[in-house]
Structure 1
Amino acid sequence: MDKRSQDKENKKDMEDVFLTSYNSLIPRNRIIFGAPGTGKSYTLNNDLQQLLGENNEDQYERVTFHPDYLYANFVGTYKPVMFDDSFENLTEAEKDILSVLTDKNKSAQEKYDLLYDKFKDGGLTRLPLLLGLYTDGDFTTRKAEGTAAVDNTVGRNHGKAISKYGNALRQYGKAMRQYVNLYKPESRKKDISYEYVPGPFMRVLVKALKNAMSDNPRPFVLLIEEINRANVAAVFGDIFQLLDRDSDGVSEYKIATTNDMRRYLSEQLGVQESKLESIKIPNNMFIWATMNIADQGVFPMDTAFKRRWDFTYLGIDDNDYALHGKYVMLSDNKTQKVEWNKLRKAINKFLADCKINEDKQLGPYFLSKDIIIPEQGDEINREKFISAFKNKVIMYLFEDAAKQKRSELFKGCSNDSTRYSQICKEFEQKGVRIFNRDIVSGCDIEDVGSKNDSSDN
């Protein structure tokens, strides 16, 4: 076997691991962005299903960025963890030994004889000390071949250096007992320990690399929701360098691994640490994200970061075909037959005429699909729609998108249009007529006769 074949067989040639036989024309680093409600997450999920197929839960992980999200959360770091030292965490063999040691109905000699077979292939010299921790009784010991020990009181097979202390081993066990936190079935001892805790990036990377070592490489995806809600330069850190991909989809440049990262990767991949002094992103790992540039409190992205991604823009009216013909009955006497999609577009036109950017306008699914797409028929549930419209649409327009145009936007309100509560109250009574007349005329209201309550969804 030549050196290259041997290295790959031993999972040592990481360059071969990074470049798998998996091929795809789909971008590895991808950001979908657009106005709120344009279906960014929905589109990403559909594309995910097409890429991974069915039964793919182990092939992707989803994370949502927020202002306090850090590199340690994303990649990994040492953290304090609770170490559960309880009885349930023992192996079956350890539980059997413990049950013998704690059996009050057995003498010390009976315990020794029962445990002899378990310890004679290794650890027989430690058995007297162990019994000394649990019992005050006397017992005689045997050698591994079954003959009586020279001392015949306590085994002395501890090596020449400590053979003269053989008689005292049981006494040492007794003396130490008060200082040792012994296992008991009812104990629930928990300690704090520190260990490397991987973040979502590292977890997906490990899965992708493990799979890359197999003969059947598959794609693995890290999904990042709201990527610009965190400071991406701080979150990605040196991982930023790995985002440059070559024509095969492998990171063009390596980054050096830290000691803790290298140790973790070595344990997970079964690769010598010396082969993991630097890493790349393999070509079977995808990083996809959504970005909402309209929201308050988002962080800017620098040009160097942006150029490492393929951006897909979802237009304000993309994917609205499922909304055509879906209507709701508004006003207090339920005489306004209004299509949500037409109302949304009329509001957007007004915002555009006011020089408000498209990314502040309303996407088709600004309200959730389970509200605006009925399970049966075309009529939207009135109560659910009114509640969602007040709490989401009016609130968003009032507090964000049209904050400087409230009086013009809500010109149909007969009372104070600068009070959110008053606008909501009038919406329940007047429906879309709370808005500017251009919006009212643009949404093609169909006035129908008064409907009785029995016709409601």
Structure 2
Amino acid sequence: MTNTNYQQVIYYGAPGTGKSHRVDEQTKGMRRLRVTIHPEYSYSDFIGQILPNQGENGTPTFEFTPGPMTQALEMAFDNTGTPVALILEELSRGNVAAIFGDMFQLLDRDDDGNSEYPVRNPDVANCIRESEKWIAGVPRDHIYFPSNLNIYATVNLNDQNVIPMDTAFKRRFEWEYVPISPIKNQGSQRYENNPLIMIKQADSYKEVDWSHLYMALNRMITDKDKGLGKNEDRQLGQFFIKFKNSDIEDSMSSDKNKKSAAIYRINRLLLNKLYIYLWQDVQGRGFIPKDRNTIFIKTINTYQELYHKAQAGEQVFSDVFLNEFLAQEDEGKW
């Protein structure tokens, strides 16, 4: 059965927007193979390579060992009626042109969903020949993507160590933006992954939802008049920090001991994940002009100071941020 609804999709957005979750939802019912790309990831890792193997009588042999791409092809050809999903996490962290190599040409599909231009690769062809269902006109030492092979990838907009993708590669994929907007639980008015957060200002504490805090930060990051005026690739998503369900529930508990313990654990996560990101990658560690607003109090000069103040429960966010952005919660703007 021919599947003309194959997909080649890259999900992109700020860190923590739930791109991997979106892929999981999209690929339910498929046979899945997931790979995480990194700067040292190579064509040999992805496609496969010839490696030594222990043969009979201790004599070493050299055999082709398939990589994830070849394994996905095996899965697809094994049952062409079942869709297969090859999932490439953090795609932009590797040199995709080098990783795909000759497989790049296979990304072009015909009206039936098969690769329009097969490529010669005897090693991969030999590896999948036992299970393949070859289409007419394709030589036996050539390979192609069948119509039931789908490729999904995720890309963070603000990756610092990315290798740019060329236009030829990008145009062979559909690109789907995953927005920063918070997502509500099914059948509920409450947002997912949304504990109460304690924020200190002057001599008092204020309880705010995580969804309000991170959205206020995103506004502060991009606002050109009262905020930092940064590009949106520095924003963060709802799942930038993944809180435990028990801590989310206990942060809203009427039991003071449970609530206090949950708030402590939540603040530790903020301290060790959120604050370091905002300090290093968003606000910046260099000289800050006097007329520029900041996320943190201007008198905090080092991350060590920020860390100790936050750890001690002191105010670390600037009044500009608390008054101009976080205060919008009281105005019903969420």
- Shorter-chain TM-score: what band? 0.7 to 0.9
Q: 2:76 matched to which residue of 1? A: 208
Cα-to-partner distance string for 1:352-387 (whole Å, 9 max, x where unaligned): 122211111111111114269725674672122111
**Aligned 8 A contact 1:350 1:438 in 2:** no
How many pairs does the alignment contain? 305
Alignment of 1:275-286 (within 5 A): 275-286=139-150
SS in 2 for 1:374: helix
Pick aligned residue for 2:308 from 422, 425, 444: 425
Alignment of 1:229-248 (within 5 A): 229-248=93-112
**Aligned 8 A contact 1:330 1:382 in 2:** no
Asked if 1:382 corresponds to 2:252, the answer is no
Pick aligned residue for 1:69 from 20, 41, 46: 41
Highest RCO, 1 vs 2 (Cα 8 Å, sep ≥ 6): 1
Question: How much has 1:267 moved relative to structure 2?
Answer: 4.1
Q: 1:193 matched to which residue of 2? A: 61
**Residues 221 and 411 of structure 1: CA distance in aligned 2, closer, same or farther (over 3 Å):** closer
Q: 2:187 matched to which residue of 1? A: none
Work out the CA distance in 2 between the residues paired with 1:251 and 1:378: 54
Question: How much has 1:270 moved relative to structure 2?
Answer: 8.9
Pick aligned residue for 2:321 from 419, 424, 439: 439
Q: 1:22 matched to which residue of 2? A: 3
Asked if 1:358 corresponds to 2:223, the answer is no
Question: How much has 1:37 moved relative to structure 2?
Answer: 0.8
Pick aligned residue for 1:338 from 208, 215, 218: 208
**Residues 369 and 284 of structure 1: CA distance in aligned 2, closer, same or farther (over 3 Å):** farther
Pick aligned residue for 1:43 from 10, 19, 22: 22
Asked if 1:266 corresponds to 2:129, the answer is yes
**Residues 427 and 223 of structure 1: CA distance in aligned 2, closer, same or farther (over 3 Å):** same
- Residue type matched to 1:366 in 2? F
RMSD between aligned residues: 3.0
Instruction: Return 5+ residue gaps in structure 1 as ranges.
Output: 1-19, 86-180, 182-189, 448-457
Cα-to-partner distance string for 1:20-67 (whole Å, 9 max, x where unaligned): 43353xx51100000011111111111112xx1xxx6xx111000001
Question: How much has 1:250 moved relative to structure 2?
Answer: 1.6
SS in 2 for 1:384: helix
**Aligned 8 A contact 1:63 1:224 in 2:** yes
**Aligned 8 A contact 2:220 2:295 in 1:** no
Work out the CA distance in 2 between the residues paired with 1:262 and 1:251: 14
**Residues 305 and 373 of structure 1: CA distance in aligned 2, closer, same or farther (over 3 Å):** farther
TM-score by length of 1: 0.60
Name whichever structure is richer in strand by fraction: 2
Work out the CA distance in 2 between the residues paired with 1:80 and 1:370: 45
Q: 1:322 matched to which residue of 2? A: 191
Work out the CA distance in 2 between the residues paired with 1:67 and 1:324: 31
Larger radius of gyration: 1
Asked if 1:34 corresponds to 2:13, the answer is yes
Work out the CA distance in 2 between the residues paired with 1:315 and 1:443: 20
TM-score by length of 2: 0.81
- Residue type matched to 1:22 in 2? N
